Amino acid sequence: VDLGTNPAVSLPELRRIRSILAQERLFVVVQDAFLSETGRLADVVLPAALWGEKTGTFTNADRTVHLSEKAVEPPGQARSDLDIWLEFTRMLDLRDADGQPLLKWSSPEEAFDHFKRLTSGRPCDYSGMSYQRLRGQGQIQWPCNADHPDGGERLYEGGTFNTDPEHCEEYGHDLTTGAANEEKDYRALNPAGRAILKAAHYSPPHEQPSDDYPLLLTTGRSVFHFHTRTKAGRSPQLQQAAPEVWVEVSSEDAKQLAIGDGDLVRLQSRRGSLQGRARIADVRPGLLFVPFHYGYWDRDRAGPDGGATAANELTITDWDPVSKQPYFKVAAVRLTRLEPAGDDPEGGEAR
């Protein structure tokens, strides 16, 4: 089940991801507001409501909780994620030890009230919040409880961290291998509310530039798009500002490979290839940059037909052992020039 994300563009080594999602033995369910690349590979697609079409809270990275109210009805058969999940639990007939339905609630507000009771006494304490308070106050940061009735602006006041063995949520990992610490190792450190600073020795990237693939590719974002453009690409201003993929090359490498600004180029790695216009940019010699937003949904396809545009065609299946974040920033590639810049370079305003 894939809920509101798009692994057929956002995960590394897309040829591999498409072949996995297309397997007969895998039953793929995608729940999204728009038909994404991943949705095109799914066995079942559940249309979901967007933020203005449903009520619920969201929590920012700085712990601020907002209430977002439904403004319009979702179109067609689309339903909110919560309603879809509740329908699942009813179909599965999940029950508690007394034979009663497992979930006693059905509205977003009831779900929030149940959730906030679960957080009581934990680091992310929502217990002092309510829909009424969020409507009145607008925004509240957790922790919000008897000690912090209006929410807590700062964590770790007085230099006390959530490291006490009785209070912490896990015992941590070795950064190099991801090996889990055990309770007795952790207690032996005697953290008792002190911060734990961790270090790891340098280890070289698992894929290094070679004679065949002499350049290093790093992938990233444009300010005009979010993730795989599922929403941003449907906003004409944002789409026009950065309409197509590009390849940033240092002036040194461009000179050596006789590549001019706007030339059509091909990037090739051990896993796949990509085509786009070159931009001579202020990147380090030996390094290339490609934004990862450009999949195939706006060409009504799950994958490329001819020149590929998704940066993750090139990236490597490898991830950090602790955070499990894929290594999007290091892949060895080869750069070649295909055609000179035409009269109609669709560079957009992002140049």
Nearer to another protein, 164 or 182 (CB): 182
Please report how close the Cβ of residue 38 comes to another protein at its closest, in angstroms.
Answer: 20
Report the b/e string of 74-108 with b at 16+ CB within 10 A. Answer: beeebbbbbbbebeeeeeeeeeeeeeeeebeeeeb
Task: Determine the residue type at 307.
Answer: G
Task: Give percent helix, percent strand, percent coil of the chain, each to the nearest 5.
Answer: 25, 20, 60
Please report how close the Cβ of residue 24 comes to another protein at its closest, in angstroms.
Answer: 13
Please report how close the Cβ of residue 291 comes to another protein at its closest, in angstroms.
Answer: 24
Dihedral (Cα; 109, 110, 111, 116), 10-degree rounding: 90
Please report how close the Cβ of residue 95 comes to another protein at its closest, in angstroms.
Answer: 24
Place of tokens 């559940």: 46
Nearer to another protein, 190 or 203 (CB): 203
Nearer to another protein, 261 or 318 (CB): 318
Nearer to another protein, 182 or 252 (CB): 182
Residue length, the chain? 351
Residue 126 CB burial class (10 angstroms; 0-12, 13-18, ≥19): buried
Tokens in use for 256?
A: 């050596």
Tokens in use for 259?
A: 């590549």
Nearer to another protein, 137 or 176 (CB): 176
Nearer to another protein, 100 or 203 (CB): 203
Nearer to another protein, 132 or 317 (CB): 317
CA angle 229, 233, 238 (to 5 degrees): 115
Nearer to another protein, 23 or 139 (CB): 23
Please report how close the Cβ of residue 170 comes to another protein at its closest, in angstroms.
Answer: 12
Please report how close the Cβ of residue 176 comes to another protein at its closest, in angstroms.
Answer: 7
Could you tell me the strand order of the sheet in which 56-59 lies? 56-59, 64-68, 139-141
Please report how close the Cβ of residue 12 comes to another protein at its closest, in angstroms.
Answer: 9
Please report how close the Cβ of residue 332 comes to another protein at its closest, in angstroms.
Answer: 15
Tokens in use for 4?
A: 């509101």
Q: Are 39 and 296 in contact (CB under 8 A)?
A: no
Distance (Å, whole) CA 216 – CA 330 = 6
Distance (Å, whole) CA 65 – CA 62 = 9
Cis ω on the peptide bond leading into residue 285 (within 30° of 0)?
no
Binding site for another protein (CB under 8 A): 174, 176-182, 203, 206, 317-319, 321
Q: What are the phi and psi torsion angles at 5 (to 5°)?
A: -135, 175
